[in-house]
Amino acid sequence: MLGTIGFHTVASVNASAEMAYDLSPAAWGRGIATAACASLLKWGHSQIGLARVQATALPENTRSIRVLERVGFQREGLLRSYRKVRGPSRDFWMYSHIG
């Protein structure tokens, strides 16, 4: 298995969902995450009618930020102490893709 991708925190009443993905470091740099994100976005907007897809990224995770920006996500702002990652609460950039 190379990784996972999917929607969570789906709010059908708002036609929105959060996209999350994880890719094995052995598969980095091959365009796999970009292709998977583009495909899931297309499906989410066209097949299940999502108006908004959001995703978050740690500020230091430049690879993930590039993936999100390549497929058309726009940075909305910094979520301070948003989620715990390996211990303390960390800041995350919030991105959105409007369909």
Q: What is the pLDDT of residues 66-98, one digit of tens each?
A: 999 999 999 999 999 999 998 999 999 999 999
Written out in words, the top-level CATH class of the domain with range 3-98 is: alpha beta
Q: Please tell me the pTM assigned to this model.
A: 0.93
Residues 37-61 have a mean pLDDT of 98
Q: How high does pLDDT run on average in the chain?
A: 97
d(C-alpha 16, C-alpha 10), whole Å:
6
For 19-77, the DSSP string reads EEEEE-GGGTTSSHHHHHHHHHHHHHHHTS--SEEEEEE-TT-HHHHHHHHHTT-EEEE
Domain ranges (residues) in the chain: 3-98
Residue 1 has pLDDT above 90, yes or no: no
Q: What Rg do the C-alpha atoms of the chain give, in angstroms?
A: 13
Closest CA to 18 of 87, 68, 84, 88: 68
Residues 35-50 have a mean pLDDT of 98
pLDDT score, position 59: 98
List, in sequence order, every residue forming a beta bridge with 8; answer none if it has no partner: 18
pLDDT score, position 84: 95
| Lookup: tokens for 94 | 């919030």
